Amino acid sequence: MSTNKTTLKILLLTSLIGTALSSSNLYKSKNVTITWDIDDVVLQRDKSINTHLWNNRGAIAYHMFNVPFVWKTLQLKYNGASSQEYKELCEKKAPQLAAMIHDIKYEKKIISGTPKLIKDLKKHGHTQRAATNMSSNDFKFYKKIYSKTFSIFKTHKAVPDGTRIKKPDPRYFEQYFDSVADQDKDKLTVFFDDKEKNVQAFEAVGKKRGLQAKGIVFKNPQQARKELEKLGIITQNTHSLVAVPSSQPA
């Protein structure tokens, strides 16, 4: 009996050591940057806003059938207008609608589970960035509210007011890669976004530049964690993260 217990302990210890070594060796071949979209990845619309919209359904319906307003909105969309241009149109032609849009924009809540994953990655030294279609001012607004999460992002790419270059426009990702070229050129960059077209554009631009660019369509924090497991960034069984070399900046 004692012999069997000893054998079992040796096998278990060997297995644990093997797992640790394999995880370490797997990561040593990759320096990784994790880049996050914000809307529907880190933040989501507050569900209570649906009640607010329902209570104002009359005003919404009125503007939906206001032909000059709808026509101008379609023109802006066709021309790839900036969020600032939409805002100015609503404030001028539909102030009640503008107020509702304001409420939607500034009532977003954190997605449970994503901050924990972001903090876990930071704890083990992984560089993280944000790449969003949010306006620069909106990003600053939410950074103040959710500073513990947003302050982890080493850099962020948002859309300056009045700018029309947004995801999935390849120029957006060209600008992103230009801004991090010195720091991330030899790294694997993993990009989480909830829209497949954005992920595809990210990978296409990265490939064109000869970079290691891996895009993943985000569904929920649990799925994101599993995707990181597959890449060897998180160990599969324990969900502990593989530490990066101490020389890598946090």
Q: Is position 241 within any domain?
A: no
Residues 198 and 218 grouped into a single domain: yes
Residues linked to residue 35 through DSSP beta bridges, in sequence order: 129, 191
Q: Is position 247 within any domain?
A: no
Handedness of CA 61, 62, 67, 71 (dihedral sign): negative
Tell me the per-residue pLDDT of 50-74, one tens digit each, with 9 for 90 and over.
665 556 667 667 666 776 877 787 8
Residues 137 and 65 grouped into a single domain: no
Answer yes or no: is pLDDT of 2 > 70: no
The length of the chain, given as a count of residues: 250
Peptide bond into 160 cis (omega under 30): no
Q: Show the domain range for 84.
A: 49-105
Residues 68 and 35 grouped into a single domain: no
Residues 142 and 200 grouped into a single domain: yes
Residues 131 and 181 grouped into a single domain: yes
Domain total of the chain: 2
Residues 53 and 169 grouped into a single domain: no
pLDDT value for 87: 73
Total Cβ atoms within 10 A of residue 250:
13
Tell me the per-residue pLDDT of 165-207, one tens digit each, with 9 for 90 and over.
999 999 999 999 999 998 998 899 999 999 999 999 999 999 9
Q: From residue 217, how far is each of 64, 160, 196, 198, 199 by CA, in Å?
A: 32, 25, 6, 9, 7
For residue 244, what is the DSSP state? P
pLDDT value for 107: 86
Residues 216 and 124 grouped into a single domain: yes
**Helix intervals (H) in 1-94:** 2-28, 49-55, 57-64, 67-78, 83-93
Residues 142 and 76 grouped into a single domain: no
